[in-house]
Amino acid sequence: MSYDVDLFVIGGGSGGVRAARIAATHGAKVMLAEEYRMGGTCVIRGCVPKKLMVYASQFHEHFEDAAGFGWTVGPATFDWPTFIAAKDKEIGRLEGIYASNLAKAGVEIASQRATITGANSVRLADGRTVTAKFILVATGAAPSTDGTLPGGDLTISSNEVFHLTEQPKRIVIAGGGYIAVEFAGVFAGLGSEVTLVYRGAKILRGFDEDLRDHLMAEYARKGIRLVMNETFSAIEKTADGLAVRFRNGHETVVADQVLMAIGRRPNTKGLGLEAVGVTLGRNGEIAVDGNSRTSVPSIYAVGDATDRVNLTPVAIREGHAFADSLFGGRPWAADHATIPTAVFSEPEIGTVGLTEEQALLTGRAVDIYKATFRPMKNTISGRESRMLMKLLVDGETDRVLGVHICGPEAGEMIQLVGIAVKMGATKAQFDATMAVHPTAAEELVTMRTPSARFARSAAN
């Protein structure tokens, strides 16, 4: 059977763009549809603009720290519109690069919505039908909302927060994951009064407990109000701002903006997936096998739409594996084990491998190495912020099972440490590596004495 294209990609985010480009370089005829802006959540209103906001928020501490090193810094002010304009310019530049790279690879771009009408066909918003040998869904995810919350329409999500016309002087943030935690640090750094509200006892569920405790202590030190074990009961517009009321008895908080960062849901509604027989999970995620194939053999899916590991580099790797496997004659699958990740909080977190809780649940013997200290810069600046480094080691094989860091440049460190952990490095190999002095990272190869040891479980 003859098709209009070999591959039709729905979604111009990180995973879809990578798949389209690689497939095209392998000689496939590819068409990609994107209804919003090229680059997806990460580039347009996610990782990239958020990291720029993180940078902007750090300068106030840099100015304060300078005094300890002999610098005299005059009164510093922050202008939100100037920063937002600079941020938007950079995002526009990146969006252009994404589109340009696709065009150079020979990918045809349709700047409109596409829906699936059959196992091998899609319909564009302009009415055209395109047939394809394979269809790849890479539509990502969208912010979750609470439709039952009175006054919920007064809130913003992680989409709108990047486009505010003015900086909120008071902001309440709901959530305890990456997005909520990162924006709490951003707005606190920019001088806003921040209240972080989470339904659990600690932020960053699923992270190592010591990391969670450490960051919460650092946030409290920075003046961020942490309201745990709490949810909203209502939000009301008043003459003084938005009054946030709670279910469990905390007093009302008044803010200029309320950011809902309570999770994300796969962006799969209205794509026609169910009608053609693609199996979806209860939250709308696309069910796929290890090769990103759905229940319909000609339809694949990658990235957050599958709700496997919702990180940009994972979507990119999945898209690349898909294209190599189907069009490049080099079948392989993305490995979702031992993924390094960073939370761009302030201080930031870098983590890879098992948490202490996960390691102990395996029943194996576990040695724990842990250190907390003031980074060298803070000793002169007078800043009280401390750094945490933690290694989890198999007590019998000596293999490093997990590395957890909270402190300056933790994300940069964990990228490199992640290579060693992925390769199965042992604690002895860490110890045999010469330290780089003076750095904070040298602590990773100089911790000699375990802070705790756990024997193998009797059941194992």
Residue ranges of alpha helices (H) inside 141-299 are 178-189, 209-221
Q: Extract the tokens encoding 448.
A: 């000699």
**Rounded distance between C-alpha atoms, residue 119 and residue 297, angstroms:** 8
Q: Extract the tokens encoding 361.
A: 């649940």
**Rounded distance between C-alpha atoms, residue 83 and residue 89, angstroms:** 10
> 353 burial class (0-12, 13-18, 19+ CB within 10 angstroms)?
buried
* 447 Cβ contact partners less than 8 Å away, ≥ 6 residues apart: 369, 370, 371, 389, 391
**Rounded distance between C-alpha atoms, residue 43 and residue 49, angstroms:** 7
Q: Extract the tokens encoding 421.
A: 């952990």
Torsions phi, psi for 287 (to 5 deg) = -75, 125
Catalytic residue set:
437
Torsions phi, psi for 418 (to 5 deg) = -60, -30
**Rounded distance between C-alpha atoms, residue 19 and residue 26, angstroms:** 11
Cα–Cα distances (Å) from 414 to 339, 352, 408, in that order, read: 10, 7, 11
Radius of gyration of the chain (CA): 24
**Rounded distance between C-alpha atoms, residue 405 and residue 348, angstroms:** 8
Peptide bond into 438 cis (omega under 30): yes
Separation of CA 222 from chain center: 23
Cα–Cα distances (Å) from 27 to 32, 131, 138, 396, in that order, read: 15, 18, 21, 50
